[in-house]
Amino acid sequence: MGKSVLVINGPNLNLLGKREPEIYGRTTLSDIERMCKNCASNLGFELAFMQSNHEGEILDAIHNAVDTHDGIVINAGAFTHTSVALMDALKGVGLPCVEVHLSNTFAREDFRHHSYISPVAIGVICGFGAKSYTLALEALANYFEQQK
């Protein structure tokens, strides 16, 4: 059976392409979805892709992922730096999770240096723009391979 991965995008990522292009580039979220779907099909994954500006909706998606997906890639946007609830949800479901960011959060403001997601993720990829997402999918594929 092929693996199924859920890619979760948090607040303001729907604005990609228009939002602070000097930081986030001109790539839109639809472009990233296409890149992820291509990459997933090369890796033999099923892929679901979502974005929400609402913390509760993201929590529900994480809870529901237990029955439908084998792993999670998450760009939690600003919730990365604020949400104990997201950390608890990811820890609670126990699915392998890769944290991604388009920008290198460590090269930015101090408040972006702390992540509530990192302690419950199998790893973190940040700073490679849209490519961070496909690197995260490859990292998950590698993780699944090692679990065999």
Q: What is the DSSP letter of 127?
A: S
Say whether residue 53 binds ligand DQA (CB under 6 A): no
Cβ closer to ligand DQA: 28 or 103? 103
Residue 101 is a catalytic residue:
yes
Q: What is the DSSP letter of 116?
A: S
Residue 143 is a catalytic residue:
no
Cβ closer to ligand DQA: 52 or 105? 105
Interacting residues with ligand DQA between 112 and 141 (CB under 6 A): 112
* β-sheet bridge partners, residue 75: 9
From the list 38-46, 49-57, 95-103, 138-146, the region that binds ligand DQA by CB under 6 A is 95-103
Size of the site for ligand DQA (CB under 6 A): 10
Catalytic residue among 54, 63, 101, 114: 101
Q: Residue 61's closest CA among 7, 139, 132?
A: 7
Whole-angstrom distance, CA of residue 135 vs CA of residue 128: 9
* β-sheet bridge partners, residue 125: 100
Min dist. Cβ of residue 80 to ligand DQA (A): 6
C-beta separation of 61 from 7 below 8 A = no
Say whether residue 101 binds ligand DQA (CB under 6 A): yes
90: exposed, middle or buried (Cβ count in 10 Å: 0-12, 13-18, 19+): buried
Q: Which residues are catalytic?
A: 24, 101
* Interface residue list for ligand DQA (CB under 6 A): 12, 75, 77-78, 80, 101-103, 105, 112
